[in-house]
Amino acid sequence: MTVREIDPGAAEDVQALRSELDELLRARRYAAQREQRLAEGVSSGNDPELHRQLAQIRSLRDGLASRHLELSERLLALEDHRREQTAVPVPRRPTGARFGGAYEAAPAPQPAPAAAAAPMRGARFAGVAAPAAEPEPEAPQPVAPPRPKAPEPRSAAELAALAARITALHRRGSAQESAAVTAQAAVVLAPADVARLIALLRAEGPAGAAGYLARAVAHGAAGQAAGTLAELRRAGLSEEAAALFHALWGYPATELPSLLAALEQAGLSADGLTLLWEWGSAPPAELAALADHLRAAGRTEDAYRLLHQAAGRRTDELADTAIHLAPRLAEALSYEVVRLRSPADLADYAAGLVVSPDRYRALLAAVGTLDESRTRAALAALRGAGLPLRT
């Protein structure tokens, strides 16, 4: 990469570049964590939407890496230029493969760590505040960090400058960097400002940029997603609200309780119920994981509601789900099947549970709760399929 010449009178300084590099490091760490979660989801099934999201986050990660290298080159060049203005001789040092083994001046000082509560600013994001850094997965903190402060509202001028930046990058052929800036804004701006930026991009930005920004919000925290969805609805941005809502279908299973709670707090409980209905069609192992995470988070009623939505699926898929579920949830699913399905369907479902004596006993117990005529019909169907009536 060719480093641009540094004008001695340029306003850009070392501290501004360091701040931007701090932003990029945080964004890259977030992208890497999101990529890891999506890769885990892809490995457990063949969901095209998860594959699409994985490709999207990898593209974002690549764009952030490219931008990080560009800024690193610029920072080194600027520091070298500033050092050349002094009369103090400095030793030489090798700088690595990106300079082809050439030698440069003494090592640049490392960026000073930003204060935890202070918003980071930079020209690239037109003053957008970055979120508090997440703890590294391999080194969890024994005490939960304080909740980050809500992003400060941005002025109309700041948002207009950010929209212009996104548009300018796209027009000059830097589509990947334009997408990276857009995706970063989706997770660090306040929900109301995300909605305002979406409106600006919809009116004057690159084609598809508004929808891309809306979908990218689903990569952020639950409160950010729910708050932005509410703001989009209030602003009448129905297409972008629908794009964000559909993107929420692929939310990581471990974070669904937080998402449902955030939707309730935003006055969008009906959207939470719709998501439960959609998630009821997830592959069996994933469906079981969703229900288990909801129960573990204290949202047992949501877990039962999810299983109720799933009870109309193919009986072999239901049996597979019951095998993966925790015992109490497997029992709840069997009660739903016994209550809602025909005796023939019940027999097909039971055939898939024979491999698990505990699950099969729970099924027989559920059959015993039916009225007398339905119990006889269910037991006759089991007997006709050659299945045991006791274990």
Per the domain annotation, does 20 fall within a domain?
Answer: yes
Mean pLDDT along residues 83-100? 36
Q: Is the same domain home to 231 and 299? A: no
Q: Is the same domain home to 326 and 380? A: yes
Q: Is the same domain home to 379 and 335? A: yes
The last residue of one of the domains, among 65, 85, 105, is: 85
Structural domain total, the chain? 3
pLDDT at 143: 39
Residue 85: band (very low, low, confident or very high) from pLDDT cuts 50, 70, 90: low
pLDDT at 28: 65
pLDDT at 242: 92
pLDDT at 277: 86
Mean pLDDT along residues 18-23? 66
Range in 38-42, 64-68, 131-135, 317-321 with the lowest mean pLDDT: 131-135
pLDDT at 254: 85
Average pLDDT, the chain: 76
Model confidence pLDDT, tens digit, residues 268-320: 999 998 888 888 888 899 899 999 999 999 999 999 999 998 888 899 999 99
Model confidence pLDDT, tens digit, residues 135-185: 333 444 433 434 556 778 899 999 999 999 999 988 888 888 888 889 889
Per the domain annotation, does 241 fall within a domain?
Answer: yes
Residue 22 has pLDDT above 90, yes or no: no
Q: Is the same domain home to 242 and 313? A: no
pLDDT at 378: 92
Q: Is the same domain home to 223 and 291? A: no
The last residue of one of the domains, among 32, 66, 85, is: 85
The last residue of one of the domains, among 85, 100, 122, is: 85
Distance of alpha carbon 253 from alpha carbon 279, whole angstroms:
10
Could you tell me which residue, 342 or 54, shows the higher pLDDT? Answer: 342
Q: Is the same domain home to 309 and 357? A: yes
Q: Is the same domain home to 287 and 377? A: yes
Q: Is the same domain home to 14 and 78? A: yes
Q: What pTM, to 2 d.p., does this model score?
A: 0.58
Per the domain annotation, does 137 fall within a domain?
Answer: no
Looking at the DSSP assignment, which residues form a beta bridge with residue 103?
A: 94
pLDDT at 178: 86
Residue 337 has pLDDT above 70, yes or no: yes
Residue 55: band (very low, low, confident or very high) from pLDDT cuts 50, 70, 90: confident
Q: Is the same domain home to 244 and 299? A: no
Q: Which of 21-25, 47-51, 95-99, 171-175 has the highest mean pLDDT?
A: 171-175
3 state SS for the chain: CCCCCCCCCCCCCHHHHHHHHHHHHHHHHHHHHHHHHHHHHHHCCCCHHHHHHHHHHHHHHHHHHHHHHHHHHHHHHHHHHHHHCCCCCCCCEECCHHHCCCEECCCCCCCCCCCCCCCCCCHHHCCCCCCCCCCCCCCCCCCCCCCCCCCCCCCHHHHHHHHHHHHHHHHCCCHHHHHHHHHHHHHHCCHHHHHHHHHHHHHHCCCCHHHHHHHHHHHCCHHHHHHHHHHHHHCCCHHHHHHHHHHHHHCCHHHHHHHHHHHHHCCCHHHHHHHHHHHCCCCHHHHHHHHHHHHHCCCHHHHHHHHHHHCCCCHHHHHHHHHHCCHHHHHHHHHHHHHHCCHHHHHHHHHCCCCCHHHHHHHHHHHCCCCHHHHHHHHHHHHHCCCCCCC
Q: Is the same domain home to 373 and 282? A: yes
Tokens of 315: 């009986």
Per the domain annotation, does 348 fall within a domain?
Answer: yes
Q: Is the same domain home to 285 and 368? A: yes
Residue 240: band (very low, low, confident or very high) from pLDDT cuts 50, 70, 90: very high
pLDDT at 82: 55
> Alpha-carbon Rg of the chain, whole angstroms?
27
Could you tell me which residue, 81 or 32, shows the higher pLDDT? Answer: 32
Per the domain annotation, does 268 fall within a domain?
Answer: no
Domain region containing 217: 155-251
pLDDT at 101: 28
Per the domain annotation, does 264 fall within a domain?
Answer: no
Per the domain annotation, does 118 fall within a domain?
Answer: no
Per the domain annotation, does 258 fall within a domain?
Answer: no
Q: Is the same domain home to 235 and 315? A: no
The CATH number of whichever domain residue 299 belongs to comes to 1.25.60
pLDDT at 84: 53
Tokens of 196: 């305002």
Could you tell me which residue, 109 or 282, shows the higher pLDDT? Answer: 282
